[in-house]
Amino acid sequence: MLTLFITSCVSLFSLINPLSAIPVFISLTSGYSPIHLRVTIRKTAIYIFIICVVSFFIGNYILEFFGISIHALKLAGGIIISRSGFLLLNSQHKKDIQGEVKRESLIKEDISFSPLAMPLLAGPGSISLLINLSLSTDSFPEKSIIVLSILVVSLLIFFMFYIAPKILKYLGQSGIRSLSKIMGFIVLSLGIQMMVDSLNILLK
């Protein structure tokens, strides 16, 4: 159970990667009052938790509705996750949607759900991972561990965004890029492993 919890937390945190979203978050919320900023951060963390939990619990029903096999999902999810890891290694994970996010945020009063929670943080990679986890966990204790890991990651995001200016000040852009590259390596390895597992089963 401890291994499942640690693996789920690390994988989900690496895919969401709030560190690389900090510069974008700061630019989107510049000029916010302290109260407005706290409300936005709190709602963003809550939305991320809801999106992840819903993705985890309805994953099996989505597959059944569209007639998608488990192995096809793992292969597609592996490709998406590998792409996220590759972009992280090249420091482009959040930059590829930055222009769209910026334009959308200028005309919206509440940016906590969109574009912050989705797609900036809880994107296709994390959703694919959670659907895959929903298929590989059967018992109630295992599913409870996954939900707990989602809660922990959401709380970490809340805390990191709350102190985002300090993180950016002490780490700087270079420090954030370095940590993002480490996470990118983990994410890329995770995606490749998902594809290898799926291909092995299909070939057999």
pLDDT digits (tens, 9 = 90+) for 56-114: 998 778 878 888 877 788 888 888 888 888 888 876 555 545 555 555 555 556 788 88
What is the value of pTM for the model shown?
0.84
Q: pLDDT for 113-164, tens place per residue?
A: 888 888 788 888 888 899 888 888 889 999 999 999 999 999 999 999 999 9
pLDDT-derived band at 8 (thresholds 50, 70, 90) equals very high
In this structure, the number of other CB atoms found within 10 A of the CB of residue 27 comes to: 12
